[in-house]
Amino acid sequence: MLMMDRFRQWQATHNRSYLSAEERLRRFEVYRSNVEYIDATNRRGDLTYELGENQFADLTGEEFVARYASSHDAGGHTDSVITTAAEADGLWSSGGGDDSLEAPPPPSVDWRAKGAVTPVKNQGSQCFSCWAFSAVATMESLYFIKTGKLVPLSEQQLVDCDKYDGGCNRGYYHKAFQWIMENGGLTTAALYPYKAVRGVCFRAKPAVTITGHAAVAKNELALQSAVARQPIGVAIEVPSSMQFYKSGVFSAPCGIQMSHAVVTVGYGTDASSGLKYWLVKNSWGQTWGEAGYIRMRRDVGGGGLCGIALDTAYPTM
């Protein structure tokens, strides 16, 4: 198939149009460069993951990172922090209570299979709100674990009302949890739907409350023990190849400039490659990756691939 025909087909699939012929030509050149990179990468044959032409195929790497992977502010306060891997193996730090881990974590966990994870959402390209999606997703899952009820909660309420974060201009999930505590909880997505733009805050009756928030130690063993108990918010660096991730265990070289917040909802071992992985829920919609998820290589040492274990967050109830 000719590249222009391929581009037209991609446009139709993703309902993409442009304001001028000049812009369309420029986007075609970006698309062609990206497709050549995708095809060359997939031809290598030595990788454990595959790339594909997704909704981001007409964006340069710089544009993609600026729009979708630059909204998590590093650093913040935690009410309770697990300080060592040994503590993570033996304790669940929740500001009190009798939650203890008396046995090693199981070899695999998938909170989706337990019904504890809401469908993948889409933060959009104009609102830097991954921090809100990560915080909300961990609350949704923990509420299900505690009550058996899976209730989609409102990212928009955080975008509009959270005075500690920047709305559509970056934020940090620990600060979001702090605001939720002070607000008396968070309302539902049905009552306060996502608009992908910061609007006027209006008061809405809280549906789910939290008692605190915490982090785990900065290593993968601690993170595994934590994820065995509930989905955990994590921050990652987004390398250029992740823009086009389609399937498999992602293992591309990656740094630790974590600027994107996501949620680890499980872990396991890939049957075909034998690689251990983290199961990560993203907020880029269901047409990216494995229906909105990415499996990232686990047990690589240090703070994990792309810094996945270095800046974590979870709520307590």
- pLDDT tens digits, 140-188: 999 999 999 999 999 999 999 999 999 999 999 999 999 999 999 999 9
- Note whether residue 15 is domain-resident: no
**Residue 199 and residue 298 share a domain:** yes
**Residue 266 and residue 123 share a domain:** yes
**Residue 170 and residue 121 share a domain:** yes
Question: Of residues 84 and 119, which shows the higher confidence score?
Answer: 119
**Residue 90 and residue 39 share a domain:** no
Give counts: helices (H), strands (E), the chain. Answer: 8, 10
- Note whether residue 207 is domain-resident: yes
Nearest to 230 by CA among 308, 310, 312, 138: 138
243: CB partners within 8 A, 6+ apart: 56, 59, 61, 64
- Note whether residue 88 is domain-resident: yes
Q: What share of the chain is helix, strand, coil (3-state, %, to 5)?
A: 30, 20, 50
CATH of the domain at 99: 3.90.70.10
- Note whether residue 307 is domain-resident: yes
The domain in which residue 26 lies consists of: 1-7+21-46
**Residue 3 and residue 131 share a domain:** no
**Residue 38 and residue 95 share a domain:** no
**Residue 85 and residue 32 share a domain:** no
Q: Are 268 and 108 in contact (CB under 8 A)?
A: yes
Nearest to 79 by CA among 98, 67, 99, 95: 95
Q: What is the pLDDT of residue 92?
A: 39
Bridge partners, 153 (sequence order): 188
Nearest to 153 by CA among 238, 69, 210: 210
Nearest to 223 by CA among 30, 64, 89: 89
Q: What is the pLDDT of residue 88?
A: 41
**Residue 252 and residue 136 share a domain:** yes
260 is catalytic: yes
DSSP 145: H
Q: Are 287 and 317 in contact (CB under 8 A)?
A: no
130 is catalytic: yes
**Residue 97 and residue 25 share a domain:** no
pTM over cut 0.85: yes
Q: Are 155 and 137 in contact (CB under 8 A)?
A: no
- pLDDT tens digits, 113-138: 999 999 999 999 889 999 999 999 99
- Note whether residue 52 is domain-resident: no
Q: What is the pLDDT of residue 80?
A: 43
How many structural domains compose the chain?
2
- Note whether residue 299 is domain-resident: yes
**Residue 33 and residue 137 share a domain:** no
**Residue 217 and residue 123 share a domain:** yes
- Note whether residue 60 is domain-resident: no
**Residue 145 and residue 31 share a domain:** no
213 is catalytic: no
Alpha helices in 44-97 (DSSP H): 61-68, 85-90
Say which of 34, 54, 183, 282 is annotated catalytic. Answer: 282
CA 119 to chain centre: 12
Strands 260-269 and 109-110: antiparallel
Is residue 95 predicted with pLDDT exceeding 60?
no
Q: Are 13 and 4 in contact (CB under 8 A)?
A: no
- Note whether residue 61 is domain-resident: no
Say which of 130, 161, 168, 254 is annotated catalytic. Answer: 130
| Residue showing tokens 């992985």 | 277
